[in-house]
A and B are shown apart, each in its own frame.
Chain A
Amino acid sequence: MIDKAQETARNEAELIRETASNAPTPAAGMLPPDQPVSTVNTTPASRSQWRDVWRQFRRHRGAMVALVLFTGIVLFVTIGPYIWTIDATYVDIRARNQSFSAAHPLGTDQLGRDMLARLMKGGQVSLAVGLTAMLIAVTLGSLIGILSGFFRRLDAPLMRMTELFLALPLLPLLLLMVTLFREPLSQAMGPGLGTFLLIVTAIGATSWMQAARIVRGDVLGLKEREFILAARSIGTPNFRMMTRHVLPNVLSPIMVAATLGIATAIITESALSFLGLGFPPDFPTWGRLLYDAIEQMQMYPWRVILPGIFISLTVLTVNYIGDGLRDAMDPRIRGR
């Protein structure tokens, strides 16, 4: 209760400060300041869009908890291996199938590899796949969305293409792409990198459509606004127009789509790994760890449950962050 009261008080104070800073003070310009030093001290922080978004985001309790948890997961997989230095691929056959102990806090797998280290390593790969696939999808989606919203001539063909992609059966096609091209790519670029590139491109190439449609809709609306007309009237070339005026204004839907895109990409990757069509066996990802443990799940259920919890928790937190971001970015909700 006290926390809440304090927070509302703080928010109100901030609001008063910020609105006061914007309020016209007619006397200020004319009279010389009595105490110049004190005015410097009380200058409120500038009010920017991102500060507002952050303020609104902080009020979404679920999103804040999710942000903390997600940061924890990221730290676990990035900093963790420096603290817990056992190699994830080190095989200690005498210590296999151990349960939780001091030497192996989360036990070992059927080859005696340390589960904690494997979960960290697997998390690195899973998160990397999620982030890279999302980057590809969002870049592709925003590019196509902006192009088709901005240039009338490109609109029809690009949107037809988007509809075509939406009609594709994605999971079967993904399975197909991965099975067909895994071997040659692995031979060309090494098993780890080849599979990574293949999976990331495949997921990215099949999940840009939603972002493209959202961005196109927003760009179509923006194009009718006066500031675009003003920019055009002073002769802004198309490329500058897009990068300078259109892109910053469609950034918020893109960011929301990006956040949710990470979640889908992580799920898709682990689904592929679960079907045995993901990374090679000695290359742990959370999905692969789960898949490897299925055979012995009756004896060692924790080996299945732990990676599953990591996948679900990551996806859950990312979804919550996306939800909070969407609320925070929506100017109709913000400031209420």
Chain B
Amino acid sequence: MLTYAVRRIMLAIPTLLFISLVIFLLLELSPGDPLGDVPLTVPPEVKEKMREALGLGQAWYIRYVLWLKQFFWVEPLHWFDQVFGTDFSRGAQRIISFQSRSPVFDVIAERIPQTLKVVGFSYLVGVLIAIPIGIISAYRQYSWFDQLGTFVSMVGFSMPTFFTGVVFIIVFAVNLQWFPSIYDTTLKVTDWNSFLQQVRQMAMPVTVLALYNAAQISRFMRASMLDNLGQDYVRTARAKGLSERTVVLKHVLRNSLIPVVTVIALGLPAVFGGAIITEQVFKVNGLGQLLISAIHSNDIPMVLTLTFIFAILIVVFTLIADILYGILDPRIRYD
């Protein structure tokens, strides 16, 4: 197990390096010019200076290695300095956004809480809805609950979040006026009233994303429960007189959760990506919104760093899912 984990981590490093190179080259090939918005009246030599100042003067491979150094060396050092009050990173150049002229990671750190609050919470809610639904629909297969559950999950799975989100806004924000349609990031939770306001503005984005995630996870949960309910050990457990509750909730559920847990882990990074759309619908200024605005304004360092962070999330969670599978299921031996 440990050797497997170590081997996988060793393999993840070249994968990530390659992905970063792909993203970098894609941006490099792009015909867009970060100085495209500079007025034509600016003389060419000044423009050249600006180019130098943005770090665009060198060949691409030098800039790539420089970016790698900044991402993997300067930024961690900087965090280290901030935590322990040392100054190892003094004088070292951090990754600077073209758009805001401030370090990319500072901007990202500002945006992460919103994304985590909305997306993370919705994923949690989605999982909490999906698992009981999956259990009941599998246990009472072909009952009306199961029919309804599979139909609703199919619909939820097929409706894109930008449509459900917009319908929710029309119904609950415009017609009923229960919830605000725009997420207010500046709101600080200080007392009961502001807490209520926070709950109200989170309700819609969380519901939309939670429904979408619950639809997918409940399908997996149902399939996995059905697989296990037909197994011999279930018959044995019933035969030795265990109560139905123990059979289903202890024996079957535990075994069925193994693949579902890995699916949940695998889905987490995709949720960050998928949340780009939901954040756009409800105007939550989280990571997704940051990425879109950076793409629109040709902010190459920001786009590169953000996309790479998404890639890291995917690789890390795939690794976690594989290792979890090995830990949870003793039948699986990687060595």
Which of B27, B160, B274, B277 contacts A176, CB < 8 Å?
B27
Q: Which residue of A lies closest to B157 (CB)?
A: A319
A275 B277 Cβ-Cβ under 8 A: yes
Complex interface: chain B residues within 8 A of A298 (CB): 170, 174
Complex interface: chain A residues within 8 A of B62 (CB): none
Which of A167, A176, A297 contacts B26, CB < 8 Å?
A176
Complex CA gap A262/B96 in Å reads 40
Complex interface: chain B residues within 8 A of A97 (CB): none
Complex CA gap A319/B311 in Å reads 28
Question: What per-residue 1/0 map shows which CB atoms of A166-188 lie under 8 Å from chain B?
Answer: 11111111011101110110000
A319 B158 Cβ-Cβ under 8 A: yes
Question: What per-residue 1/0 map shows which CB atoms of A123-135 lie under 8 Å from chain B?
Answer: 0000000000000
Complex CA gap A221/B154 in Å reads 31
- Give how many A-B residue pairs fall within 8 Å (CB-CB): 120
Question: How far does the Cβ of A204 sit from chain B's closest Cβ, in whole Å?
Answer: 17
A297 B158 Cβ-Cβ under 8 A: no
Question: How far does the Cβ of A276 sit from chain B's closest Cβ, in whole Å?
Answer: 9
Tell whether B35 is near chain A: CB-to-CB under 8 Å.
no
Among listed B38-46, B104-112, B233-241, B302-310, interface-contacting one: B302-310
Complex interface: chain A residues within 8 A of B27 (CB): 176, 180
Question: What per-residue 1/0 map shows which CB atoms of A3-38 lie under 8 Å from chain B?
Answer: 000000000000000000000000000000000000
What would 4 more interface pairs be, CB under 8 Å, given A168-B22, A270-B162, A275-B277? A167-B311, A271-B277, A274-B280, A290-B162
Please give me the 3 A-B residue pairs with the lowest Cβ-Cβ distance, nearest first. A169-B310, A180-B30, A308-B163
Tell whether B76 is near chain A: CB-to-CB under 8 Å.
no
**Chain B residues near A (Cβ < 8 Å):** 15-16, 18-19, 22-23, 26-27, 29-32, 151, 154-155, 157-160, 162-163, 166-167, 169-170, 174, 269, 273-274, 276-277, 280, 291-292, 295-296, 303, 306-307, 310-311, 313-315, 318
Among listed A98-106, A110-118, A310-318, interface-contacting one: A310-318
Question: How far does the Cβ of A61 sit from chain B's closest Cβ, in whole Å?
Answer: 10
7 contacts between A and B (CB under 8 A): A168-B311, A169-B269, A170-B273, A179-B295, A184-B31, A274-B160, A315-B160
Complex interface: chain B residues within 8 A of A275 (CB): 276-277, 280, 292
Q: Which residue of B lies closest to A183 (CB)?
A: B31
Which of B18, B26, B154, B160 contacts A319, CB < 8 Å?
B154
Question: How far does the Cβ of B177 sit from chain A's closest Cβ, in whole Å?
Answer: 11
Tell whether A279 is near chain B: CB-to-CB under 8 Å.
no
B291 A270 Cβ-Cβ under 8 A: no
B292 A175 Cβ-Cβ under 8 A: yes
A312 B31 Cβ-Cβ under 8 A: no
A172 B174 Cβ-Cβ under 8 A: no
Tell whether A2 is near chain B: CB-to-CB under 8 Å.
no
Tell whether A263 is near chain B: CB-to-CB under 8 Å.
yes
B274 A172 Cβ-Cβ under 8 A: no
Question: How far does the Cβ of A304 sit from chain B's closest Cβ, in whole Å?
Answer: 5
B311 A271 Cβ-Cβ under 8 A: no
Complex interface: chain A residues within 8 A of B295 (CB): 175-176, 179
Asked, given contacts A163-B15, A171-B274, whether A308 binds B31 with beta carbons under 8 Å apart, the answer is no
B158 A169 Cβ-Cβ under 8 A: no
